[in-house]
Amino acid sequence: AQSVAQPEDQVNVAEGNPLTVKCTYSVSGNPYLFWYVQYPNRGLQFLLKYITGDNLVKGSYGFEAEFNKSQTSFHLKKPSALVSDSALYFCAVRPTGFQKLVFGTGTRLLVSP
Amino acid sequence: GAVVSQHPSWVICKSGTSVKIECRSLDFQATTMFWYRQFPKQSLMLMATSNEGSKATYEQGVEKDKFLINHASLTLSTLTVTSAHPEDSSFYICSARKVGAVQSTDTQYFGPGTRLTVL
């Protein structure tokens, strides 16, 4: 079965510190991987995606993600967190040959001043 | 850009009435749109895939006669919740697939969501 795991319900980090939001997946083939962010009562905003090529993908707002095929992971990272980064983050995969996305359960990021 | 809008952003209706939610891709054409439902503090649940000019494909367990989807143009899909009941209260989010030069570069862009409350 295709699935995405975000093992942490919440991640707490102080402003200015680096942050990591974890994501692992279980999908056959070579999936396409995505990160989205959701602010309260809003839809999802696209952050970045991995299709192929360089394992380190850079996206919006200073975020980046590292694809690790052997560990089937796609962790989201940012070198220096901002209070405004506090939101709900979703990892998603699109299995090869499918249009739809499979989402993780989301990780709430809380950045304290 | 890739902007997707939804209207209305929130709606309150009485039990038994029908509610229509619109999803528009503002600056690109979308042959495929998706409708999701999100419960509080939960992930998104895909309800259906909407293809322009053809019938929607519903996920298992989603009642197609209750959640009517119409995708009449390349920039508009509508979701109608028919005979709404309190258990239909939820946050409904649409997305539109922006086609890339090759299929692998396609990305889904999401609307801001519609909060439906059925009294």
Quote the pLDDT of residue A29: 81
Q: Which of A19, A9, A39 is nearest to A106 (CA)?
A: A9
Whether the Cβ atoms of residue B12 and residue B117 lie closer than 8 Å to each other: yes
| Unique residue bearing structure tokens 């539109």 | B96
Residue B29 or B100, more confident: B29
Q: How far apart are CA A109 and CA A95, in angstroms?
A: 26
Out of A32, A41, A99, the one facing B97 most closely (by C-beta) is A99
pLDDT band at B9 (very low <50, low <70, confident <90, very high): very high
Choose between B13 and A95: higher pLDDT: B13
**Given this model, what pLDDT does residue A28 score?**
80
The nearest alpha carbon in chain A to B31 belongs to A99
Tokens of B42: 């939960």
pLDDT in tens, B42-78: 788 899 999 888 889 999 999 999 999 999 889 999 9
Nearest residue in chain B measured CA to CA from A96: B104
CA distance B103 to B85: 39
Beta bridge partners, A46, equal: A36
> Does A46 contact B4 at a Cβ distance shorter than 8 Å?
no
DSSP code of residue B99 = P
B35 close to A86: Cβ distance less than 8 angstroms: no
Q: Is pLDDT at B104 greater than 80 in this prediction?
A: no
List chain B residues with CB under 8 Å of A100. 34, 46, 49
Asked if B107 and A49 come within 8 Å (Cβ–Cβ), the reply is: yes
Phi and psi of A85, rounded to 5°? -80, -10
Residues of A in contact with B46 (CB under 8 A): 100-101
pLDDT for the residue numbered A58: 95
Residues B11 and B116: beta-carbon distance below 8 Å: yes
For the ranges A22-26, A91-95, B9-13, B97-101, the lowest mean pLDDT is seen at B97-101
Q: Quick check: B60 contacting A, CB < 8 Å? A: no
* pLDDT tens figures, A16-55: 999 999 999 998 888 899 999 998 878 889 999 998 888 9
pLDDT at site B118: 96
Residue range A82-111, pLDDT digits in tens = 999 999 999 999 887 777 888 999 999 999
Other beta carbons within 10 angstroms of residue A103's beta carbon come to 23
Chain B residues near residue A104 by CB distance under 8 angstroms: 43
Q: Does the beta carbon of B26 lie under 8 angstroms from any beta carbon of chain A?
A: no
